Structure 1
Amino acid sequence: MTVIFIRGSDTQLGQRLVQACASHPHVRLVVMEQNLPPTSSGEHMAELMRQEQVDVVINLASAGEEAPAQNRDQAFQANVLHSSDLLGACARAGVKRIVLRSSTLVYGSHLKHAAFLDEETRFARSARSPLISDYVEQEQIAAEFARTHPDQAVIILRCASLVAPDWPSPLVRYFAQPRPCMLFGFNPRIQVLHPDDAVAAYLLAAEADVSGAFNLAANDPLTLLQAIRLAGRQPQMFLEPVVMLARRVIPREQVLGYWPFAMDLLRYSCVADIRKAQAQLNWQPAYAARAIVEELNTAPAVIQRSRV
């Protein structure tokens, strides 16, 4: 019997993982939100982990993933400081395996990027969205933890943007606009991931004898224009010089509409190589990228509720 401690069960991804674990005969769940207040100290978390004899900790709490963060300081505290506290609790409780959520967008986008970016690719130094900046800092803390705690396995799952009709992710909100923005002359490739494939990867990571970072995405990237049209929309094209000039006097969202990522991602691709997850986690995405995005077009009532 594997005892899994989940932080972030109040997220949609957390809820799906809880449901999946509940039907697993060899898993016993300990849900942080059912046992401790969200601001609990690391010592309180460690005490609960020791009492429950936790084998695996999975952290899915990410402010800004499923709803825009209202307060930058609170988001940083939730994403970085609380994650650091969680790692400290795992150290004190002697937890064998820790699984963290991150994003393939930590690599950023650049004209000189390889066609597929493996897990050894350096993180982008260019401008990032606040959430991606938090993921980068969280990964740096996790890497130092792994170096100083070699007996505890740290697994980081770098997920492409989660997309499904009932999913409140930044990319779904972008597709929900009547005319999603694009820059004239640019058509970057993007990746998506179905939530069920993400859940499958977390379950595999909880049991596999591995450590390190793993990229997760559906097979076959799409161009941004393809994805917009598959979602049942038509793009609104902007000239980049006009956008850059207008941004000096008015907020970006008033110029482009909703675009939750760094501007570079409207120009250049960020496509992650998923072969390591396939080989070492024995993970295979069940949902193709095209089918994932097309499903948004078949559920207009749901995507309408995602509009910003």
Structure 2
Amino acid sequence: MGDEEREDEPPRPRLTTRPPRRAAPDESTSERPVLITGICGRLGRRLARRLHRERRVIGIDRRSFEDKPKDVVHYPIDIRRKKTQDVFRQERLAAVVHLGIMHDPRASAAEHHSWNVVGFQRLLEYCAQYDVPKLVVLSSANVYGPRPDNPQFIGEDAPLLGGAAFSEIRDLIEVDMLAQSFFWKRPETETVILRPAHILGSVRNAPSNYLRLPVIPTLLGFDPMVQVIHQDDVVSAIVQALMPGARGIYNIAGPAPLPLSRLIEKTGRTRIAIPHAIARSTIQRLWRMRFTSFPAPELDHIRYVCMVDDRRAREQLGHLPTHDIDEAVRAIDDF
């Protein structure tokens, strides 16, 4: 992996979705609320503060919502509970944005499956039962998986192989597949699946936590090209996905990719290269002792390439990142 900028264009993915209509939404639809699951997460709060200026916003999240805008309605409930259906029954929703995915790598497999898969299945049932016209699901480019045989840029039609080495991502892949199935089974609901690259910002996810380390480990002999995206550009992509007519799967990327070593340099932190075998065994021990929140399978993300072709989002959603790489890196310390 060199330091050269990208010169060749990635291959064009096969288009299986139609572009969104850019006409204004029907007045009755625009006056109906948007429901955000996981609204108390850092992305959820940012999305709510962006949307509530133009739309009625309702949120479901069992956590508390600090500094909630006064006109945002927050239901502190579990999406798996009967009360969630009551929200769908009482409110004639214009759209559902599903951000309520559990990413805790220390949670049990049963807890992950119950929250992520069973909870999402019920959400899909309510969307169908109460005729919700729009569903936006935030997935991740990680569903493709970092692999030595990956093409330089992965299109939306590529297989989802991220769970082969990292079992914790299998639930996210299942959620993604359930959303795809819903897309075909219920065409009257405009279903959008967004697969963003590594999100940087105040979010407490693996990429941001990794770059916050005072000394950042890398793998000796590996310097993969990586894509990152500022959290506010992800919020913008969600807002664009709410446009009338937008449907289908969209990879979402930020500024031009760069080598991992250069990304770390931009943080101003110290980098240390460690042989893979030593790094893996050390992290496994630290994980068992609860001295790290970085599971060993995540090492593949700093070993192999997993970059996406985001041309479809640029052409059909009009998504263009507005934050450069330096702004994205600075945002990891704004929490």
Q: TM-score, normalised by structure 1?
A: 0.85
Q: Which runs of 5+ in 2 are unaligned?
A: 1-29, 62-73
The code of the aligned residue for 1:211 comes to R
The code of the aligned residue for 1:31 comes to G
Q: Say if 2:58 is the partner of 1:30.
A: yes
Q: Is residue 226–residue 259 contact of structure 2 (8 Å, CA) maintained in 1?
A: yes
Matches within 5 A, 1:38-57: 38-41=78-81, 44-57=83-96
Which of 233, 236, 239 is residue 200 of structure 1 equivalent to? 236
SS at match of 1:109: coil
CA offsets 1:210-262 (integer angstroms, 9 cap, x no match): 22111112121121111111111122211124345x369835677x9654553
After superposition, the Cα gap between the structure-2 partners of 1:22 and 1:223, relative to the gap in structure 1 and judged at 3 Å, is same
After superposition, the Cα gap between the structure-2 partners of 1:210 and 1:185, relative to the gap in structure 1 and judged at 3 Å, is same
Q: CA deviation at 1:122?
A: 1.0
Aligned residues: 291
Q: CA deviation at 1:45?
A: 3.1
Q: Say if 2:129 is the partner of 1:101.
A: no
In structure 2, C-alpha distance between the alignment counterparts of 1:61 and 1:93, rounded to whole Å: 20
In structure 2, C-alpha distance between the alignment counterparts of 1:181 and 1:285, rounded to whole Å: 28
In structure 2, C-alpha distance between the alignment counterparts of 1:294 and 1:187, rounded to whole Å: 21
Q: Is residue 77–residue 84 contact of structure 2 (8 Å, CA) maintained in 1?
A: no
The code of the aligned residue for 1:23 comes to R
Q: CA deviation at 1:44?
A: 4.1
CA RMSD of aligned residues (A): 2.6
After superposition, the Cα gap between the structure-2 partners of 1:129 and 1:173, relative to the gap in structure 1 and judged at 3 Å, is farther
The code of the aligned residue for 1:136 comes to I
Identity %: 26
SS at match of 1:140: helix
Matches within 5 A, 1:1-308: 1=30, 2-24=32-54, 27-33=55-61, 34-35=74-75, 37-41=77-81, 44-64=83-103, 69-124=106-161, 126-128=164-166, 130=168, 132-164=169-201, 166-243=202-279, 246=281, 250=285, 259-260=294-295, 262-294=298-330, 296=332, 299=333
Q: CA deviation at 1:46?
A: 3.8
The code of the aligned residue for 1:35 comes to Y
Q: Is residue 183–residue 240 contact of structure 1 (8 Å, CA) maintained in 2?
A: yes
In structure 1, C-alpha distance between the alignment counterparts of 2:298 and 2:75, rounded to whole Å: 37
SS at match of 1:110: coil
In structure 2, C-alpha distance between the alignment counterparts of 1:294 and 1:21, rounded to whole Å: 24
CA offsets 1:72-117 (integer angstroms, 9 cap, x no match): 4323322221111111110111111110111111111122211111
In structure 2, C-alpha distance between the alignment counterparts of 1:119 and 1:11, rounded to whole Å: 26
Instruction: State which drifts further: 132-141 or 73-82.
Output: 73-82
Q: Is residue 159–residue 198 contact of structure 1 (8 Å, CA) maintained in 2?
A: yes
In structure 1, C-alpha distance between the alignment counterparts of 2:313 and 2:322, rounded to whole Å: 14
In structure 2, C-alpha distance between the alignment counterparts of 1:220 and 1:119, rounded to whole Å: 18
Q: Select the structure that is richer in helix.
A: 1
